[in-house]
Amino acid sequence: MMATTETLDRLESHLTRLIDGTLERKAGQVDFLIGLNQLDDILRSHEQGGPIADRAARFLTDYQGWQDKGALTAAQRKRLSEFLGDLFQRLHDGNDPDGRKLAEEVKEWLRAMGDGAFRLVLKRPKEQVSLAERFRDLMTRESEELDALITQHDHLLTVLDDLLKSAETKTDTIYRHLAASVIYFLQMEGYKVEPYVKRLRRLRSETL
């Protein structure tokens, strides 16, 4: 009887650690996506003529530590490096002295992230990356995005609505592509998806 109790206690302890670890990873994914969305908003606002240096400085302060090795997964580092590379170019190419100084801080982030992130972002043109590699990266990003959304919503239709709202307001095309994948899956499962198809088509026509 004592052995059975000890076994159950060990099992309970193991399950508790497993659940805590899973929740911690999910929370980390959500935090990462929130931060990345902030960075996307900064870049989108700048495209429309908004200021960039002050908001970029706040982002680097708020998310200090992301550049440390081990703070993010390899996929997250690669995704973040793409956004930071865009931010670096805008700050570096601008006429604001403070912005150019901030560009050096962004460069240090990219270098600290390792894996050749700075060279990858600034030196390798997109056309030199194979289609297969780009598609695989997209699938990894979409999987992380979907995991985070599923933890927030209780139905895939709600996830789809959230994706379409993000596609309407954000520059990253991942939301549109993932929304299309979810629509196709729901259609195969017998759901009525016409309203969502119309929303997606409207988005496509607005960007043509």
Residue 128: strand, helix, or coil: helix
Predicted pLDDT at 156: 92
Buried b vs exposed e over 131-157: b needs ≥16 C-beta within 10 Å?
eeeeeeeeebbbebbbebbeeeeeebe
Predicted pLDDT at 22: 41
Predicted pLDDT at 207: 58
Predicted pLDDT at 21: 44
**Tens digits of residue pLDDT in 26-55:** 445 778 888 888 888 888 888 888 888 899
Predicted pLDDT at 72: 83
Q: pLDDT tens per residue, the chain (208 residues)? A: 445 566 655 655 555 554 444 434 444 577 888 888 888 888 888 888 888 889 999 999 998 988 887 788 877 888 888 888 888 888 888 888 888 889 889 988 888 886 555 554 554 445 555 778 778 878 888 888 888 888 888 899 999 999 999 888 877 788 888 999 999 999 999 999 999 999 988 887 765 4
H helices of the chain, in order, are 2-47, 53-62, 74-93, 97-113, 117-123, 131-152, 156-169, 174-188, 194-207
| Number of other CB atoms surrounding residue 185 within 10 Å | 13
pTM: 0.51
146: closest CA among 163, 134, 131, 129? 163
Phi (first) and psi of residue 77, to 5 degrees: -60, -45
Place of tokens 């990266």: 137
Predicted pLDDT at 185: 92
To the nearest 10°, the Cα dihedral for 54, 55, 58, 59?
-140
Predicted pLDDT at 184: 92
Distance CA 160, CA 169 (A): 15
